Amino acid sequence: MQGTKRRRLYITVKASTVWQEILRVWTKLHKTPMLKDDSNLNCSRFLVKAPNEVVIEIQQQITEGQHSEIYQVFINGQEQNVILKKFKSKSSENLTPTLEALAQIYACKHGFAVPVLAFNQQALISVKCDKQITQDPLEIGYKWQRNMMKDHQTKFFAKKLNTLSIALSPGSQNILDFSRKMYSKIGMYNMDQNPNNYMIWNDKMVQIDFGMNRFASKEHLKRFFQSVGRTDSFADSFADKDVAKLVPQNMPHSPHEFYWYQAFVSNGQCDPSMWNSKDWESFHMQMPIDRQTYMVNIQQRMRIIKDIQSQKSTKRPSSNKKTKIKIYALKDNHP
């Protein structure tokens, strides 16, 4: 926080855990105007006794997320292997902060998320992931040329090929495999399978945002509440609409497959919401075949375009033609 006017807030607390107290104090401070660093990002600095007196610094990071703010946490000047995530989504589709945190805790118990260290209605603190997932598309097998833009068939084939090259990439396929395992094991699925919602932790993929997660049935929801130590009365304490979000009435037949398709393949021209497992199996088997077909089609169109251009150049009149000059003799008018 170089260049920031330092302001210390001295707070003595009786800590149950360091992270709970850090989150509690930060939440209280965050309701007041925050300090800004040189990049105009929020930051704060305060003292906590938990049980020994420590200096806490919380510094906002630049991220692409639209539904949250991410902060680094420093204790006595040392960066901690955690992140503080502030909930800021106003979308009616997102879970409440408490439900989202509980969903992540539940997923963590089954190996699908990082541990949550503390949470409240405004934010949570969790273990930091190691790195982003790789999202490199497969080779498309041709070099894009400007004249291809003028050919509608080639543009159509190229668009289809690019979509399939991304969907069949290792990163996208790993997300699909992850979604299948989570759905099979705990009946949970993610309605927003954007690659930015997944990272690597301890050499395995984990999900980092659970605001759009849902359950396959009420039975799976019951197991969820029991696992996180919440009773039926706790579930009833939420507004009906909040609990209803967890088990949508009109969910797709295979929601984990459907929302992967929405993230990586959909063009709005096909509705696979009622596809069964055999339909999805056939679709995934067909994808690499279609991709190869589009590659062949593009190569054929490029040869045709090249031949047409070659023919046009041979028919073009030469600029080196010799000019014929006619010479007229003047008649002598004298007798």
Spans of all domains in the chain: 9-128, 132-215+251-310, 217-249
Mean pLDDT of 65-89: 92
Question: Which among 292, 259, 272 has a CA at the least distance from the CA of 179?
Answer: 259
Mean pLDDT of 309-313: 74
Please give the residue that has the higher pLDDT: either 110 or 66.
Answer: 110
Q: Which residues of 42-68 are buried (b: 16+ CB within 10 A; e: fewer)?
A: bbbbbbbebeeebebbbbbeeeeeebb
Q: What is the pLDDT at residue 296?
A: 92
Q: What is the pLDDT at residue 233?
A: 58
Query: What is the pTM for the complete model shown?
Result: 0.83
Q: What is the pLDDT at residue 146?
A: 67
Q: What is the pLDDT of residues 111-164, one digit of tens each?
A: 999 999 999 999 999 999 999 998 889 988 777 666 666 778 888 999 999 999
Examine the pLDDT at 310 and tell me if it is beyond 90.
Answer: no
Task: Give the pLDDT band of residue 12 (cuts 50, 70, 90).
Answer: very low
Task: Give the pLDDT band of residue 34 (cuts 50, 70, 90).
Answer: confident
Taking a C-beta distance cutoff of 8 angstroms, is the pair 70, 35 a contact?
Answer: no
Q: What is the pLDDT of residues 244-270, one digit of tens each?
A: 889 998 999 999 999 999 999 998 889
Task: Give the pLDDT band of residue 7 (cuts 50, 70, 90).
Answer: very low
Q: What is the pLDDT at residue 322?
A: 54
